[in-house]
Structure 1
Amino acid sequence: MIDELRSFIQVVENQNFTKAAKKLKLSQPAVSLHILGLEKQLDTKLILRSNKEKNFLLTSDGEILFKRAKEIVHQYDDMINEIKSHAMEVKGTLKIGASLTIGEYLLPSILGELSRLYPALSFEVTIENSQSILNKVNQLELEIGLVETEIESDQLNRVPFYRDVLQVAYTSSLVPPNNPEHYHQFFNEQVWLLRESGSGTRERTDFFLENYGITPYRRIILGSNYIIKETLRQQPSVTFTSTLMKKQKFEGIEYLEDEGYQLSRLFYYVTKDGVVLSKRVQIFMALLQELYEPVK
């Protein structure tokens, strides 16, 4: 039954029998037989296939099964991992997702400590923007996600674990005015480097610009913190970034040390609601609470 459900999930996600077969390393007829077997067991049509059995339309029963199948397979895999683990040893692979800021500045030290404490534990890490990580946790593609954006969802559980501060960073060749009353004009005249939509940093930057009534001379959208840092060092420009970047002391970048132009935010760990958390996830959450001071 589990193999049939895996085939069904892949067919739906890939919207193609042949692609699903390749991902599962099965023949296309074997995948088709799995789907037919499910339909026979459930006495219903799940997929309305075309003549060539390549494209399909998911039925209403198929939509119900797809949602439940991912949960069943996730629980099954978790059960197998638990059974294979020794009572006092954490094994298996922890599937973690993190936003780019967290993934670059915090996650390496977290994983280093986790490896030291649990040497038999493996990791599968996904680094993408916060919205993408939230989607993957919700779809059970990740066991836990670390994000920098606030969420309101009845499908996800979130717990804050770190308080971050954002401030203005600028190319060293730029000279901000000494008088804070002239900051507004200075900011309006600059090229601003922004993260892409879906990024937690972009969300807070947009709020900062709107709150202070800043209209940048030009905006450049960049898809990673690394590209922003390198662009900031080579092209006169301004950005709004985590103070975690400042701790790495990059040459060619200065920071506006004015608390009136800073914003704080929370980093969260996020899990799927209603899913029994594996021992791997539980020890990871416990480590986060141990490494960082409690936040509200």
Structure 2
Amino acid sequence: MLDLMRIFVQVVEEGSYTLVAHHLGVSQPAISNHMRSLEDKLGVKLFQRHGKGFILTQEGEVFYLHAQRILEEWNRLKEHLEENCAEVSGKVHIGASHIPGEYLLPYTLGPFQKDYPKISFKLSIGDSLEMADKVLSQEVDFAVIGSNFKTDKLNSVFWMPDQIKLVFTKDHPLNQLEVIQAADLNNYAMVIRENGSGHRRAVEDALINLNLHLEDFRISLEAGSTEAVKNAIRGGLGYSFISISALQPDDDALVARDVAGLEIERGFYLITRRNKLLTKPTQLCYDFLTGSTIEKQILRE
């Protein structure tokens, strides 16, 4: 019955059988069958067709309110039971955009797992918009992304700052300039991240402050990851703007420079679904991250 309640609550909140079926990896008829089974068990109609969608019956509204409370109480009960265990265990599924997912979280989570060796992680990486959607659909427990998504269903907490700089190879003509002006960039090809990434949005916003747009530049490649961008730069496809967090010691062939009057700063944010109770392992990990930065981890070691 609890599983049927969870699906029912998700159907109501998503407003679509199809979306819930997609998120759960099942067919839409399977969700319909689950809801009919729930109605049969309760002996009441919960849904009423309305155009191409549905609305809740009066009984459905009452059941929705009680189902939310029951699921919340069940999660609290599990949490209390976990607290009584000698050692917390479980898996935390974290979503992340490319910079925190590839360069920051793997390093930051090490000290946490030393304290909680029976907690393991699953890390899903994609662009910021995709990860926000996964938090919304509860495919991940929470996410760390480069955009501030604060909505009626999502909560956003600042994690740490990030700075994005102009990057090219040592032998690039731009490296011969003592001071690089934004106008100098038009003479050479640019590599950019794909649409949907918080990184690209930050670059676009900074350029707009100088009355410039990506359409003003010669774009040689749109790439789906920062590593692809760095390899494109090494391969001679042009310059790009890259987070300094993504520049590693083995990137000695790349040079990071400032552009006069162009400052690209953003933040990384912890994104959770509002009113969702986190499991004990997830809450511990989330609390650890909200109180940690890379600098603090270095000091700790």
Match of 2:177 in 1: 178
- Aligned pair partner of 1:137 in 120, 135, 138: 135
* Residue 58 of structure 1, CA deviation: 4.5
* Residue 121 of structure 1, CA deviation: 0.8
Match of 1:98 in 2: 96
Name the SS of the counterpart of 2:251 in structure 1. Answer: coil
- Aligned pair partner of 1:159 in 157, 162, 169: 157
Match of 2:288 in 1: 287
Unpaired segments ≥5 residues, structure 2: 12-16, 297-301
* Residue 198 of structure 1, CA deviation: 1.5
Match of 1:123 in 2: 121
> Would the alpha carbon gap of residues 211 and 80 (structure 1) be closer, same or farther in structure 2, given more than 3 Å must change?
same
> Would the alpha carbon gap of residues 100 and 72 (structure 1) be closer, same or farther in structure 2, given more than 3 Å must change?
farther
Cα distance in structure 2, aligned partners of 1:75 and 1:99: 32
Cα distance in structure 1, aligned partners of 2:97 and 2:65: 25
TM-score for the superposition, normalised by structure 2: 0.76
How many pairs were matched up? 278
Cα distance in structure 2, aligned partners of 1:165 and 1:71: 43
* Residue 46 of structure 1, CA deviation: 4.0
Once the two structures are superposed, residues 156-197 of structure 1 have per-residue CA deviations (whole angstroms, 9 ceiling, x without a partner) of 2221121111111113331215243x6233201221111112
Cα distance in structure 2, aligned partners of 1:191 and 1:78: 55
> Would the alpha carbon gap of residues 142 and 205 (structure 1) be closer, same or farther in structure 2, given more than 3 Å must change?
same
Match of 2:224 in 1: 223
What fraction of aligned residue pairs are identical, expressed as a percent? 23
Name the SS of the counterpart of 1:39 in structure 2. Answer: helix
> Would the alpha carbon gap of residues 3 and 250 (structure 1) be closer, same or farther in structure 2, given more than 3 Å must change?
same
> Would the alpha carbon gap of residues 73 and 235 (structure 1) be closer, same or farther in structure 2, given more than 3 Å must change?
farther
Unpaired segments ≥5 residues, structure 1: 23-27, 49-56
- One-letter identity of the residue aligned with 2:177: N
Match of 1:35 in 2: 35
Match of 2:278 in 1: 277
Name the SS of the counterpart of 1:261 in structure 2. Answer: coil
Instruction: Please state if 1:20 is matched with 2:26.
Output: yes
Name the SS of the counterpart of 1:149 in structure 2. Answer: coil
Once the two structures are superposed, residues 1-31 of structure 1 have per-residue CA deviations (whole angstroms, 9 ceiling, x without a partner) of 1233466669644659xx7279xxxxx89x7
TM-score for the superposition, normalised by structure 1: 0.78
Instruction: Please state if 1:252 is matched with 2:253.
Output: yes
Match of 1:243 in 2: 244
> Would the alpha carbon gap of residues 164 and 125 (structure 1) be closer, same or farther in structure 2, given more than 3 Å must change?
same
